[in-house]
Amino acid sequence: MFRRHPRAPERTPHPNARVEVALQQIISLRRAAARNEQLLDQYRDYVEDMTDNLRRRTGKMYNEDRNDWHEEIERLNHESNRLNNETAELHSQIGELCAKLSDDDLLWLEAQPEPRGR
């Protein structure tokens, strides 16, 4: 039998609809940045494992697969750089949106429970 995770309490919308739209955008951008950061961590771990394997392995099979592994590492490093740039842009957008809001509005966002990701 599976247990369901308890649902997070629903976030109460901000009384001002315009502010609520900005808060929703911030929440969405934060989620996207968190997904990118999680993926970056996975890429780093995978590249680290592949690099360790390249150092340890020798023999004919190793030599045949070596170029494929180096290409995969290079591809993941390229993808990591792209994700880093995308994440930096997301954080920049979050900063711009936060700068437009008052401190009280930002406190409203922080005081509300974080809705579960979709």
For residues 105 and 19, the answer to whether their CB atoms sit within 8 Å is: yes
> pLDDT below 50 — which residues of the chain?
118
User: Residue 54 gets which letter from DSSP?
Assistant: H
Token reading at 116: 């579960």
Q: ∠ CA(86), CA(90), CA(96), 5° rounding?
A: 145
User: Residue 118 gets which letter from DSSP?
Assistant: -
Per-residue pLDDT at 51: 86
Distance CA 50, CA 65 (A): 11
* Cβ density class 12-43: b for 16+ within 10 Å, e for less: eebeeeebbebbeebbebeeebeebeeebeeb
Per-residue pLDDT at 116: 55
Per-residue pLDDT at 77: 95
Per-residue pLDDT at 118: 46
The number of helix segments (H) and strand segments (E) in the chain equals 3, 0
Whether the model clears a pTM of 0.85, i.e. scores above it, the answer is: no
For residues 69 and 54, the answer to whether their CB atoms sit within 8 Å is: yes
SS3 label, residue 117? coil
**For 29-44, how does the pLDDT look when each residue is reduced to its tens digit (9 = 90+)?**
999 999 999 999 999 9
